[in-house]
Structure 1
């Protein structure tokens, strides 16, 4: 096993490589930009952007030449990534930005970082605004332990499976969601976990920044009366430790779904539908989920 050591502030690596800078950009308010981020973009030989139109506006605002702007996004990363790495190996410094916030969080920047690390290129963070952490610190929910999930899968089955797997997660959870899907996502959370404290943070650092705090059920009702607008950060309280312990100690835990249902049929004489309903209640899932398991 060999350890790779990066000295971020060496002027140039011994191979003569340039460096990859991960530059945070505003999540809403242009004043989110740091002095260091502006200087890094000014000095970079190349700027790789997820959306060049959006980044061009940012560069124009800070009077940075857009002539060194190249495209790097989910749909061209397979071809563009190795090309960008080649530029760095040739000695050019590259600054990577995303549409908003920190690059490599819920965007293809992580793939470019992986390529750079494999080639021994120094990867340097230029920190700044981040939507998920901004929502967390104003949420009023515990911040000692948290888990970033990001965007949930679009497929409803994959989404429900992921949420069910997080039922016993005790840390505060952070999600991103679009206005078109936020109600459906909250409904799925309610179905998987029951009622929990939640904070809906939208338009962070912008003029119409808003935090809605309440329970999942209350938030769903609120959004039905106040149509969702803007991108959302959803901060959800983790499971209560006593609930988790109670679930793990439950008599039915060692049983398969089939055995669980059969127990109610044989021991309590319940019809199959009633037995499925009771098993679903024990497990905190819907009767439909039990039915699917038994198919």
Structure 2
């Protein structure tokens, strides 16, 4: 019989500067039997640098997490202690671990967090953008349409958006942000807590610095839009429709892309306006 109730520790590790590993986190990692790591080699190097040699490393990443759950629960039921870490930062925030934590909760296993570094929170601390309310989106979709629809859901909300993106896809993502949200202030945070830490600022829809030389992953923060001041003028709505319209886009596509960029207009009114003044199916089209 186990001598103590099973427990899963969820431990935050440094996102760059090794000095950010808390004393409590180091103590927990040194005390457990098993460390569940997204990348066992990277975590192994971290443990070596901290002088920790006791725990066994067991991989737990996106593609094997579901298969690992039963094995980890069995280890915990046998009385072993375990700690879950990601490659960097706080586990579960765009990293694996959710399925395991949920399974432990359902099985009555105690789950205890050891808080620490988190890239979204770290970026918010120093960006100068409104820190709350905010929505963390994790890694955004790769496909253009899915990305645009995701951003459009937040167009009317007065919140800061925070998400991760690969530098190689950043330019395309900023274009989609501009299409979905209009003019917004953006902060790109990279190399957080490291020697070459950098915060880049730009405005969607305006000239921006060259970003092609950035490497790795970045944290992107998007400020809320300006508060609405009544309905957008009809001529401005028509202008937006003509900007977003493409040869292959139908009326529904144009309306969906226009809606987050204007205020005081519903889908039905936008659809009717598009048919009248943009597509030219009504008498008012001749006046535009």
Q: TM-score, normalised by structure 2?
A: 0.82
Secondary structure of the structure 1 residue equivalent to 2:180? helix
Aligned residue pairs: how many?
257
| Distance in 1, Cα, partners of 2:166 & 2:210 | 13
1:155 CA drift (Å): 1.6
| CA positional deviation for 1:67 | 5.0
Off by >4 Å, runs of 4+ in structure 1: 243-252
Which consecutive residues of structure 1, in runs of 5 or more, have no partner in the other structure?
1-12, 275-295
Residue aligning to 1:58: 46
Find the counterpart in structure 1 of residue 209 from structure 2: 222
Corresponding position: 1:253 with 2:271: no
Which runs of no fewer than 5 residues in structure 2 stay unpaired?
233-258
| CA distance in 2: counterparts of 1:118 and 1:161, whole angstroms | 34
Does the CA-based 8 Å contact 2:183-2:225 persist in structure 1? no
Cα distance, 1:243 vs structure 2: 5.6
Deviations along 1:237-260, one digit per CA (max 9) or x if unpaired, are 012232687679956415076434
2:134 to 146, 150, 175: 146
In the TM superposition, what are the counterparts of 1:138-287 in structure 2 within 5 Å? 138-218=126-206, 221-224=208-211, 227-242=213-228, 252-253=265-266, 255=268, 258-264=271-277, 265-270=281-286
- The 1-side partners of 2:264 and 2:91 are apart by 46
Alignment partners' CA distance in 2, 1:244 and 1:151: 34
Task: Tell which deviates more after alignment, 141-150 or 241-250.
Answer: 241-250
- Matches of 1:258 and 1:140, distance apart in 2: 38
Shift of 1:179: 1.2
Q: How large is the RMSD of aligned CA atoms in angstroms?
A: 2.5
Distance 1:81 1:240, change over 3 A: same
